[in-house]
Each structure stands twice: as structure tokens, then as C-alpha cells.
Structure 1
Amino acid sequence: MTSRTPLTLAACAGACALALGAATPALAAPGDDDGTATVSVFHGIPGMTVDVYANGDELLGDFEPGTVTEPQQLDAGTYDIQIFRAGQNPDGAPALEKEIEVPEGADATVAAHLNADSKPELTAFVNDVSPVGAGQARLTVRHVAAAPAVDVRAGGQPVLTGLENPKEQTTEVDAGTVNADVVLAGTDTVAIGPADLTLQEGTSTVVYAWGSAEDDSLALKTQTFSGTASAPKGVHAGGNGAAVDPGSPGSWPGWAAAAGAVTVTSVLVARRVAGRRA
């Protein structure tokens, strides 16, 4: 299925940005207006290892489901993003394609995932690393699974409700450890969990609920940002933006390790695509 819909993303609050780029040693600092953006990619299409191209150049090879790249820097501009099954001839029709504008100073993650009808699509999310109050932590849940609306509960009580694909909800909670699970919206039917979630003070934790309910492949991937002290405009990743391995589908052990995230080695090739913008 090929979709070629222009997606323009603004750099101000509420903006979205593409998260693809060549590996670079440094991330954009808060407030930097150097013509770059800080970006990462989440692959949430189960059973489909892919190659990712931007403006005809391969950026990611053999990119496996359930993987989040580390935040990287790339030049602001417009990119034609194509996703192929791994090893497929890039001259053929891609499985997914969109033209995406990457605004200067943005910090975001783009998710390749299934929609509610099990069709692959790309969704761009802002990574909110604005300041968190003393003693608080930020929790964001992004629903990118082929599944109905869900509620997120902490200690058996809903804290995020009616979350639908491909949306996100955010709340600030007291830092510490809570027992959490995901249930079908308005019910007590558990879809994922329960598990202990540790949220350290001053961190911003993003949880991707991905996979397919029909195929019994629902799983989670967690991305944690620390040092959340930058302004919304030109927000930077803070810390290492590393992803936490959620373990096997249907389990939730990654939540318990959110505060001590294990760095996922970037699979981005060392190749910039500046100068080949659409």
C-alpha cells in the first residue's frame, strides 16, 4: 500500500517532525538555530523488517520491528521518505511513502506503525521535554497498535482514558514506582500488563503501544528523555533518549526499567541526505 500524502510539520508547540538522519556525534542543544532538527524513528509494524530511504538514499537497513533509534541530528528541509521490505529493489513500489518537512529546531519521533484497520502508516509525534515540576515525572502513551481504544491505569485507577490510534495522551505524576496496566477503554479487560513502572523525577517517558490485537502481537517500547529543562521551541532530547526493550509481545517488563534505560545502538548509516531535498 503506497500513500504519498504531503505532511507539513511546524516547528512551534504542537509541531511534528521526521526522525531520520545520519549518525552524528552530537545532538542539537536547546535553543540552537543551526538549520538542524533532533529526530528519531520507531518501527512498530510487526513481522516486517524494512529498509528506509530518504530522497533516494538508504538511511536504515534491516530495521526490525520494536526498535527505536537514538535521537539524531539532520538538516532541516523536505524529505521523500520511502519504506521497503528489507532487500526489496528500491526501484519498485514502496510499502509506505510520504513527503515530510523537517522544521529547524524540532525534536520529534516518527512512528511507522499499523492504524486501527491494520494498514501501515507514518505518524510524527512531538517529544515534549519541557520542564517538569519538582518531584514530578511526565508520562506519555502513544497508541500505534491495530487495536481498539484503551485506558491506562495506575494502581487500578485510570490515568489516561479513551486513547485511540494514532493519538497520544500525556500526564504528570509524582515521581516513583506505580503498578500500571493497559485495558480496553471503559472495561477491566487487560490488554497489556500489569507491571511496575518506575518514573524518575525530571524525566519524560514515552511508551508506544504497538502491534496487532488480532495477531496477538501487542507489545510496548519505551523511550525516556532526561534533563527536561528546555523550552518547547527547539526542544532537545535531553539525556540519551534511549529506548527500553519491552521484552516479548504481550509483556510489559520494559516499564519497570524505564528509569534505567538501556541504550539502543543506532542502526542509522553514516550518510547525510542534505542537498537532495525534495
Structure 2
Amino acid sequence: MRWKAMAVAVVCGGCAIAAAPVATAQQTATVYVVHGVPDTPVDVYVDGQRAIDDFQPGSTQGPLQLPAGPHKVALFAATAPDGSGAPVLQADANAPAGANLTIVAHLNAQEAPTITPFVNDVGPVPAGQARLVVRHTAAAPAVDVRVGGKPVIQGLTNPQQKELQVPAGTVSADVTLAGTGTVAIGPAELDLAEGTATFVHAIGSAAKQNLRVVPITITGLHSAPSGVPAGTGTPAGALPWLLLAVTGVGVLAAGRRFTGRPAAG
């Protein structure tokens, strides 16, 4: 369970997330984690114990059932032996019971590392449909998203997200600079199966030409009663009361400061 308990803390330094007041020690939060800061592999320590070795940019963890409660986390450069030297990042993290969210470590529009938590919409999906959520978490200007060559999202900026409901199936999508035909990412094939929610994260830096997308798919969101979200711990009706309050995160080695903020929809 220890490696699971750390994953939200990888990028949720100082996260204080308040949820419904009724909770027990056995309740958990369901967490997905995206490492979107280029060129920064890290080892992650939770409560003084190494939990993940060599966590690579562009990789994900989840779904992770994180026990509700406080945790201490420190990130060290993956090249540092046994967590020696000053941590790249250290913070306290408190996770609530019942939340379903994705924590993204990424670059902001000015190419500074930052942290953004997103609430995952795991509500029912109508028959024959799929949910597609695009999140701009890259050091890049505003972008448009095209499906089948046609714009479906326009002017998306970092760190915003946009949700679509689309017919289930395989689609070809790409990302262009807003208002132009200049392709920044893709095209890529997305398999949007019926009753799923796919969260696509654009990461990297346009200036360094290393933009890419990292998708996470949650299944089992069919409208029928038999549909059970895979790996989720938030009832659909719980989302309105979910509150994300993210405090500062100190970055010691780089002399910069990560900040966390709730993402706007």
C-alpha cells in the first residue's frame, strides 16, 4: 500500500483538499498522477521511505487508492543515491476520502514548473457516447483542438480544460496553435470507447519542441446501473461539494517555487 499512498504526494506538495465532513479511517481518495515536467526524473519518498524509483516525465500512476489523512513527501533527483542531498521538492499533503482527481506536475505558460489538480468528471455517460476532456498543461500559447480536421475546442489556454461528449469510436485528433493551421501535436488516434472518460493532457514545451499528450482513461461510466467506474471512489453526486485548496510547494534545488491551483473548467 505504501507505493500507492505516495503517488498523489508526488506532485501534490502542500495539497489540502477538503471534502464531505463524514469520513472514516478506511475511506480513500482515488488519484491519478501525471508527471509532465520534462527532463526531471525523480525518486519519491513518503514518510521517510522511498516509494517510487526513477519516476519519469510523461509517465502516469493510477488509479491509486490513497488512504485519507496526512503524508510527508520529498522528491530527490533520481541520480542522487538513497535520497541524499537537498530534496528538489518537499511538502506535506493531506488527502480526503471520496475524491476522484488527477494531479498534474507540468510547465506553465512561462515554462516554470507548477502543480495543477483537476477534478475528474466520473458521472454517467449516455449510451453510445464517450467523454473527452482536454487539458492544456504545456508551455505553449493558446491552442485549438481538431477532431477529424474540424475544430471542436478553440482558444484553450494553460491550465484550462474543456470537456466534450462525443459518439463512441476511434477519432483522429490534433492540436494546432489557436486560430491557425499550424499543428503543435499530432495527429493521434484516440479510442473513445462507449461509457468511458478519456482525459488528455498536453505536456512539454513548444519552444523546446517536445510537446506530447498523455491520456488517462476511466472506464465503467455507462448510464446503466451495471456500469461501475473502474478505480474511482467518488459518487457522481459528490462532485459539487469537492473543494480543492492547494497551498505553496517549495522547490529547493532550483531556487524556484511551484504553485498549485484549482483548474478552471
2:167 match? 174
Task: Tell me the alpha carbon deviations over residues 206-252 of structure 1, each in whole angstroms, 9 at most, x when there is no partner.
Answer: 1111111111111111111110159xxxxx85169xxxxxxxxxxxx
Alpha-carbon distance, 1:32 to partner: 9.6
Q: Would you say 1:221 and 2:214 are equivalent positions? A: yes
Matched-pair contact (CA < 8 Å) for 1:139–1:171: yes
2:199 match? 206
TM-score normalised by length of structure 2: 0.72
Matched-pair contact (CA < 8 Å) for 1:227–1:239: no
Q: Distance in 2 between matches of 1:133 and 1:83?
A: 41
Task: Tell me the alpha carbon deviations over residues 96-116 of structure 1, each in whole angstroms, 9 at most, x when there is no partner.
Answer: 344432110112221121111
TM-score normalised by length of structure 1: 0.69
Inter-CA distance 224–11: structure 2 relative to 1 (3 Å threshold)? same
Q: Would you say 1:11 and 2:19 are equivalent positions? A: yes
Aligned residue pairs, count: 215
> Which of the two has greater helix per residue?
2
Matched-pair contact (CA < 8 Å) for 1:4–1:97: no
Inter-CA distance 173–8: structure 2 relative to 1 (3 Å threshold)? same
Q: Distance in 2 between matches of 1:32 and 1:206?
A: 29
Q: Distance in 2 between matches of 1:229 and 1:103?
A: 26
1:244 match? none
Q: Distance in 1 between matches of 2:216 and 2:88?
A: 26
Alpha-carbon distance, 1:91 to partner: 5.7
Aligned to 2:17, the other structure's residue is in SS state: coil
2:75 to 74, 83, 108: 83
Q: Would you say 1:105 and 2:98 are equivalent positions? A: yes
Aligned to 2:158, the other structure's residue is in SS state: coil
Alpha-carbon distance, 1:90 to partner: 3.8
Alpha-carbon distance, 1:148 to partner: 1.1
2:181 match? 188
1:83 counterpart letter in structure 2: L
Q: Percent identity?
A: 51
Alpha-carbon distance, 1:191 to partner: 0.4
Q: Distance in 2 between matches of 1:38 and 1:49?
A: 24
1:126 to 106, 119, 128: 119
Matched-pair contact (CA < 8 Å) for 1:107–1:237: no
RMSD: 2.7
